[in-house]
Amino acid sequence: MKIYISADIEGISGIVAVNQVLPGERDYQRSRELMTQEVNAAIEGAVAVGATEIVVNDLHGAGTNILIESLNNKAQLITGSSHKGAMMEGLDSSFDAVIFIGYHSRMNVSGVLSHSFHGGVISNININGKDVGEFYMNACVAGHFNVPVVLVSGDNILEEEVKDVNAAIETVVVKTSYGRYAAKCLTPSVVFEKIIEKSKVDLINARNIDPIKVQEPHEMRITFFNSGQAESASIMPGAELVGPNSVSYSGKTIMDSYRALTAMIKIAKSN
């Protein structure tokens, strides 16, 4: 059994503030430790049910958050800033299941530290009339390779987002949102136990969970925070400026749209 773990930091229990997720800030080192431990819990669960290969992708920021010296040695770590595969670097059809650890809800909902790919650039992403965030886009990339997402950890607002897409996907709610910068959190030991146990069950049942697919071709509309960002992003081949701060892109596959989104964010950031 080959397992892919995609790990972010904002959805880790105990993390509720910006200074906890930015390198150089006061509480960042502690957050790295908590993130690594939650990932280790998922690895432990996977190993317990016979996983023979586990790949972890550190996707937050520059991708240098997980402490490799503390990572369970049954896994391999993808670290650094990827330009092609982005948050799903290294995933292909050889994997049997995907687990998302430490994820957060999309921008413009009341989840803890909610955003969509880049909090200073993207206000909204819409696919065929559905507002989506990182969970949906990354799950659709997994679906492109016919690999199911079987478990997602994060806050209760993210859980609603996940269940709206596929109720069969299990969730571990590590904290209950009290707004963008506050939450009622489970203690780490409780979180680890829940992730270990649910990952065991969900990986065993992976064949019964359908991969998430998006209609192809499809229309993606990206709303930026300002018109300058949208104007810059619209130079992307295939993109069209459709409003003062909105760009439309027609994707033949989700991989087309995913890479276009990644490129437009990088272009818009420079504005």
144 in a known ligand binding site: no
Under a CB-based contact definition with an 8 Å cutoff, are residues 12 and 108 in contact? Answer: no
- Give residues with Cβ within 8 angstroms of 43, minimum separation 6: 5, 54, 56, 71, 72, 74, 75
- Give strand pairing partners of 56: 5, 77
Q: From the candidates 115, 118, 144, 218, give the one annotated as an active-site residue.
A: 115
The β-bridge relationship of strands 149-155 and 170-177 is parallel
Determine the Cα–Cα distance for residues 147 and 97; give it in Å rounded to an integer.
Answer: 6
10 in a known ligand binding site: yes
134 in a known ligand binding site: yes
Determine the Cα–Cα distance for residues 143 and 127; give it in Å rounded to an integer.
Answer: 15
Calculate ∠ Cα 20-21-22, nearest 5°. 105
- Classify residue 270 as exposed, middle or buried by CB count within 10 Å of its CB (0-12, 13-18, 19+): exposed
60 in a known ligand binding site: yes
Calculate ∠ Cα 127-39-256, nearest 5°. 25
Of 131, 132, 126, nearest in space to 246 by CA = 126
104 in a known ligand binding site: yes
Determine the Cα–Cα distance for residues 154 and 103; give it in Å rounded to an integer.
Answer: 5
- Give strand pairing partners of 124: 223
Is 144 a known active-site residue? no
Q: Looking at the annotation, which residues are catalytic?
A: 115
* Residues of each annotated binding site for Zn(2+): 8, 10, 60, 104, 134
* Residues of each annotated binding site: 8, 10, 60, 104, 134
